C-alpha cells in the first residue's frame, strides 16, 4: 500500500465531501504535512470545480490533487478507486442504496473504509456480511464516523473513564445553535432519513441476525432507563426542554457495549437520545410533522413525495439549496451526556444493587456546525487515526463501531486540536 494515496474522498462534489476536502487540507497544514489525498466522484468537471472552490476557501491552489472518476453504477470503477487509497472516506448516500458496493470493493482491495451513515439497517447488515472478510483482509470498515455517532459512542467511553463508580445508563441532549444567517441542512441528509424510515421494518430481521453473532445476550437488568416520551426538563445545566430523537447513536453505542461486555466484562450502558426544543409549541409541531413523515415514508409514492417537497414539509429545516457557507460557519452544537449510576464499582457486569442508580456525571461534547463541518472533522481525524495510530487499535480488522476502533488511539486528542471539545461539566 506504500504507493497509494493516504485518503480518497468519494463523493467530493457533495456538500459533505466538499467540507471533508477542506478539513483534510487544514489538517495537512496544521500537523500532517506528508499526508496525501485525492478526490473521487462521477464527474471530472465537477471535481475540478470543487478543487477550485476549496482552493479559494483555504487560500492555496489544489491543482495537483489527483482526481478519480468513479460511479456506484460502475463497480469496476469503484474497485479501481479503492485500489488507489489506504482509506476511503465514503460521502455518498443514501448508503442503503449505494454503500455496499464501496464496502465490498474496500474489502477486495484491502482498503480501510469510513462513512457518515445514520442508517441502522445498512450499518448492521455490513457487520453481518463483511466483518469476517474485513478482519481476514486486515482492514477496518467503520460506519457512523460523523456526528452520527462519534459524540455519543466515544462520549460514553469518555464518561466511563471519568465516572467514579459504575455507569448504568447515559442520556444525550443535543443543542444546535444557528448563527445570524439562520440554519438549514442539505437534502442529502434528509433523503437518507427518508430511506431509513421507509425501511424500518427490515431492522427486526437484521437485528435478529446480528444478535445471533454474539456469544451471549445482554443482561436483563431490573433498573432500566425510562424512556421519556413527552417533552421534559433535563438536568440543570444542560438544556431547558427536550424531546426524544430516534437516531442511530443508540444502536451504535449498543454494539460497542455488547462487545465490551463479552470481551472485557464491562457493564453494558443503556442509552437514549434527546434533542433540545425551544418550546411546547415546537414540540407539538415536531410531533405532527414526525407522524406524517413516518406514515407517508412507508410507501414508495410517499417517499417520492417527501423527497420532492423537502423544503415545504420541513418548513425550510432541510433544503435542496442549502445550507449556505455563512450558515455553516455561523452554527455550532453542544451535546450533553448525562451519565447515571452508582458511586462504587460493582463485583461483576451482571450484578446490580437494590437501590436505583442516582450518582451522576455530565460530559459535554461541543464543536462547530453539526451536519457538515463537525461531521467531516470527526471523519477526517478518524482517517488520520487509522493511518497514524494503527498499532494502538486492538483488532486485526473488521466492521466495527467508532468506539471500538478508536478507544485506545489518540483520536480524542486529535479532535480536541481540531475544534471538537470533550469535557466534564458536572
Q: How many CB atoms are closer than 10 A to CB 75?
A: 14
CA 393 to chain centre: 19
When pLDDT is cut at 50, 70 and 90, the band that residue 191 belongs to is confident
CA 403 to chain centre: 11
pLDDT at 318 over 90: no
- Categorise residue 194: left if φ over 0, alpha if ψ from -120 to 50, beta otherwise: alpha
pLDDT tens column, 335-357: 999 999 999 999 999 999 999 99
pLDDT in the model for residue 370: 94
Distances (CA, A) of 265 to 75, 261, 268, 272, 337: 42, 5, 9, 22, 23
- Helices (H), ranges, 93-179: 95-98, 100-109, 120-137, 150-161
For 257, the enclosing helix (H) or strand (E) is helix 249-264
pLDDT in the model for residue 136: 98
- Is residue 230 within 8 A of residue 169, CB to CB? The reply is no
Mean of all residue pLDDT scores within the chain: 92
- 403: three-class secondary structure by DSSP: helix
In this prediction the pTM is: 0.93
Residue 89: which of 8, 3, 1 has the closest Cα?
Answer: 8
pLDDT tens column, 372-418: 999 999 999 999 999 999 999 999 999 999 999 999 999 999 999 99
pLDDT in the model for residue 308: 80
pLDDT in the model for residue 65: 97
Peptide bond into 94 cis (omega under 30): yes
pLDDT at 190 over 90: no
Q: How many CB atoms are closer than 10 A to CB 131?
A: 17
pLDDT at 293 over 80: no
pLDDT at 188 over 80: no
When pLDDT is cut at 50, 70 and 90, the band that residue 2 belongs to is low
CA 147 to chain centre: 4
All three cell numbers of 344, joined, read: 462504587
Amino acid at each position: 500500500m506504500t504507493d497509494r494515496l493516504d485518503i480518497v474522498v468519494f463523493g467530493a462534489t457533495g456538500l459533505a465531501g466538499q467540507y471533508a476536502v477542506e478539513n483534510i487540507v487544514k489538517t495537512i497544514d496544521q500537523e500532517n504535512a506528508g499526508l496525501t489525498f485525492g478526490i473521487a466522484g462521477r464527474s471530472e468537471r465537477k471535481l475540478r470545480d470543487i478543487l477550485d472552490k476549496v482552493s479559494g476557501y483555504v487560500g492555496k491552489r489544489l491543482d495537483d490533487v489527483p482526481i478519480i472518476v468513479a460511479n456506484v453504477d460502475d463497480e469496476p470503477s469503484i474497485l479501481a478507486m479503492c485500489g488507489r487509497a489506504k482509506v476511503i472516506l465514503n460521502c455518498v448516500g443514501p448508503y442503503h442504496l449505494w454503500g455496499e458496493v464501496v464496502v465490498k470493493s474496500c474489502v477486495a482491495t484491502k482498503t480501510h473504509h469510513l462513512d457518515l451513515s445514520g442508517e441502522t439497517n445498512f450499518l448492521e447488515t455490513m457487520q453481518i456480511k463483511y466483518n469476517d472478510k474485513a478482519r481476514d483482509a486486515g482492514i477496518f470498515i467503520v460506519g457512523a464516523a460523523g456526528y452520527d455517532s462519534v459524540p455519543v459512542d466515544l462520549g460514553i467511553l469518555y464518561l466511563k473513564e471519568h465516572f467514579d463508580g459504575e455507569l448504568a445508563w447515559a442520556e444525550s441532549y443535543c443543542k444546535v445553535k444557528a448563527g445570524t444567517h439562520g440554519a438549514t441542512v442539505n437534502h442529502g441528509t434528509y433523503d437518507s432519513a427518508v430511506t431509513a424510515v421507509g425501511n424500518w421494518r427490515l431492522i427486526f430481521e437484521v437485528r435478529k441476525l446480528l444478535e445471533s453473532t454474539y456469544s451471549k445476550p445482554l443482561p436483563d437488568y431490573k433498573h432500566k432507563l425510562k424512556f421519556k416520551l413527552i417533552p421534559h426538563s433535563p438536568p440543570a445545566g444542560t438544556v431547558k426542554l427536550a424531546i426524544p430523537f430516534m437516531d442511530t447513536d443508540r444502536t451504535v453505542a449498543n454494539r460497542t457495549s455488547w462487545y465490551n461486555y463479552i470481551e472485557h466484562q464491562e457493564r453494558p450502558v443503556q442509552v437514549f437520545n434527546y434533542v433540545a426544543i425551544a418550546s411546547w409549541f415546537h414540540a407539538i409541531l415536531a410531533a405532527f410533522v414526525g407522524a406524517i413523515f413516518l406514515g407517508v415514508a412507508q410507501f414508495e409514492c410517499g417517499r417520492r413525495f417527501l423527497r420532492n417537497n423537502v423544503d415545504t414539509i420541513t418548513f425550510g429545516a432541510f433544503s435542496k439549496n442549502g445550507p449556505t457557507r455563512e450558515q455553516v460557519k455561523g452554527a455550532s452544537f453542544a451535546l450533553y451526556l448525562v451519565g447515571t449510576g452508582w458511586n462504587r464499582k460493582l463485583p461483576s457486569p451482571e450484578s446490580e444493587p437494590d437501590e436505583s442508580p442516582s450518582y451522576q456525571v455530565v460530559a459535554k461534547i461541543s464543536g462547530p456546525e453539526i451536519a457538515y463541518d463537525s461531521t467531516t472533522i470527526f471523519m477526517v481525524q478518524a482517517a488520520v487515526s487509522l493511518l497514524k495510530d494503527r498499532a494502538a487499535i486492538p483488532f486485526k480488522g473488521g466492521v466495527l463501531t467508532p468506539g471500538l476502533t478508536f478507544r485506545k488511539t489518540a483520536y480524542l486528542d486529535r479532535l480536541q486540536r481540531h475544534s471538537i471539545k470533550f469535557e466534564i461539566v458536572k
